[in-house]
Amino acid sequence: MGLSKTTFVFCFLAAAVLNAAVLCSGGITSSFVRKVESSVEMPLDSDVFKTPPGYNAPQQVHITQGDHKGKAVIVSWVTPDEPGSSIVQFWAENSNQKHQAKGRVKTYKYYNYTSGYIHHCTIRNLNYNTKYYYEVGTGKTTRTFWFTTPPEVGPDVPYTFGLIGDLGQTYDSNETLTHYEKNPVKGQAVLFVGDLSYADNHPNHDNVRWDTWARFVERSVAYQPWIWTTGNHELDYAPEIGEKKPFKPFTHRYQTPYKAANSTAPFWYSIKRASAHIIVLSSYSAYGKYTPQYQWLEEELPKVNRSETPWLFVLVHSPWYNSYDYHFMEGESMRVMYESWFVNYKVDLVFSGHVHAYERSERVSNIAYNIVNGDCTPVERDQSAPVYITIGDGGNIEGLATVMTEPQPKYSAYREASFGHATLEIKNRTHVYYSWHRNQDGYAVKAESMWFFNRYWHPVDDSTTAHS
């Protein structure tokens, strides 16, 4: 019975060596062969950009969460010819009682561009878990869409999020969105990690490309909320053409429920949805000590109630752990400011974009190290730390980031320069099933999948649950 002492010692040493190999390895750099040519933007006369028929027909319809806990929706749209009506009519499925909410309309100018009439209307006091139809427009040119409200916020409520970043409007962008729509795993809302239209890649930031992008994504975002994060391509800061107000097109076109989260600006805020508390941060707003964003986050984190919302996710455009040459260390100063908070409050997952590729980190932290105690290991495994996922692989005009730092750092678990999207299936308070889909595989194939365990309720090492 049992092992001899010698065998036991050998096994122990072998396990120790194996374990050390795992700990020291820099993870996986995928050998998947992907295309290297740059992405081509879809021309203006592409069918995905076409305008709906009829005089002054509402276009660019999109929705997002309208309050802190999922009982309100902000409906936005553009009328091209005249202001028309800012009223949204809505009714629950299986009910013939119509309600209406009145929004407001505005326009803006950007250099030599004048926008259409942009409407925003918040519809409130919706029932949870209910399908609603809604109608915008007037007279003969109304359009009807629908959405389903989330379940009531609670600790074991299943919910599925899609994850898309840096989308743009190229043929690859269209493939990414199609794959998300056709994915057998049905996302109920999208966590969008910034960089929407890439209009600023055109001369004078041609804002027509903001319009075309919104028409392109309408087929998804009119039917399920996309939760917006701002990226550098939302800045549209161009003093050389007299445009000195950062985020001008974005703030006119897209709304966030920041006031409900006691934020003072639309770029950093939080929502609760199903069993998740989601914090959105702004890489391109001030985040140093004493700034409004810093102060808000400092007050926000203690409010997260893991008994109500076990899952704590953060969206921020610029990644903190990135081993591509592209944008290397751009997120470093924000990491230095906030990483210890993320570890202390046991953030489960942090999603970023910006780098046009895919990367998943180990659970690591870099908070024990400082410039005084320089003998400490700079980055180490930390089971209280989040996994950092870079998913800036939507398919934009700038193409893929293909150059990686070598050798692969040990904080990097998996990296691959391919376009794609991800899904995040919350099962209960302890388990979430995560899958990343590369476009080239077809939408039914998951390039990598894994279980993540909740850091508050089940803080067990989940680094070995990945499989391809």
Size of the site for Fe ion (CB under 5 A): 4
Quick count: other Cβ atoms within 10 Å of Cβ 140?
9
3-state secondary structure of 277: strand
Q: How far is the CB of 216 from Fe ion (least distance, A)?
A: 18
| Residues 144-183: x where in contact with Fe ion by CB under 5 A, - otherwise, as a string | ----------------------------------------
Sheet of 141-148, strand order: 99-102, 87-92, 131-138, 141-148
Q: How far is the CB of 333 from Fe ion (least distance, A)?
A: 16
Quick count: other Cβ atoms within 10 Å of Cβ 418?
22
Q: Nearest-CB residue to Fe ion?
A: 354
Q: How far is the CB of 355 from Fe ion (least distance, A)?
A: 8
- Cα(67)–Cα(146) distance, integer angstroms: 18
Indicate the residue among 195 and 218 with the shorter CB distance to Fe ion: 195
Q: How far is the CB of 17 from Fe ion (least distance, A)?
A: 41
Q: Near Fe ion by CB under 5 A, which window of 251-259, 354-362, 370-378, 431-439?
A: 354-362
Indicate the residue among 58 and 392 with the shorter CB distance to Fe ion: 392
Quick count: other Cβ atoms within 10 Å of Cβ 7?
10
Query: Residue 19 corresponds to which amino acid?
Result: N
DSSP per residue over 179-240, as a string? HHHH-SS--SEEEE-S----GGGSGGG-THHHHHHHHHHHHHHTTS-EEE---GGGT--BGG
Decide if 120 is catalytic.
no
Indicate the residue among 312 and 314 with the shorter CB distance to Fe ion: 314
Indicate the residue among 120 and 356 with the shorter CB distance to Fe ion: 356
Which pair of structure tokens corresponds to residue 9?
């010692």
Work out the widest C-alpha separation in the chain, in whole angstroms: 87
- Residue 23 CB contacts under 8 Å (≥ 6 apart), including other chains: 381, 410
Q: How far is the CB of 359 from Fe ion (least distance, A)?
A: 14
- Cα(461)–Cα(455) distance, integer angstroms: 9
CA angle 268, 274, 277 (to 5 degrees): 30
Residue 145 has φ and ψ, to the nearest 5°, of: -135, -175
Q: Near Fe ion by CB under 5 A, which window of 90-98, 110-118, 353-361, 412-420?
A: 353-361
3-state secondary structure of 269: strand
Which residues sit opposite 81 in a β-bridge?
A: none
Q: Near Fe ion by CB under 5 A, which window of 99-107, 246-254, 288-296, 348-356?
A: 348-356
Which pair of structure tokens corresponds to residue 112?
């030599």
Out of 205, 272, 354, 421, name the contact with Fe ion by CB under 5 A.
354
Indicate the residue among 354 and 438 with the shorter CB distance to Fe ion: 354
Q: How far is the CB of 110 from Fe ion (least distance, A)?
A: 20
Out of 27, 225, 231, 257, name the contact with Fe ion by CB under 5 A.
231
Q: How far is the CB of 232 from Fe ion (least distance, A)?
A: 4
Which residues sit opposite 387 in a β-bridge?
A: 349
CA angle 405, 410, 416 (to 5 degrees): 50
Q: Of 205, 327, 354, 356, which one is the catalytic site residue?
A: 327
Indicate the residue among 56 and 232 with the shorter CB distance to Fe ion: 232
CB 200 within 8 A of CB 237: no
Indicate the residue among 318 and 449 with the shorter CB distance to Fe ion: 318
| Residues 47-86: x where in contact with Fe ion by CB under 5 A, - otherwise, as a string | ----------------------------------------
Q: Does residue 232 belong to the site contacting Fe ion (CB under 5 A)?
A: yes
Q: Does residue 195 belong to the site contacting Fe ion (CB under 5 A)?
A: yes
| Active site members | 327
Binding residues for Fe ion, per CB under 5 A? Answer: 195, 231-232, 354
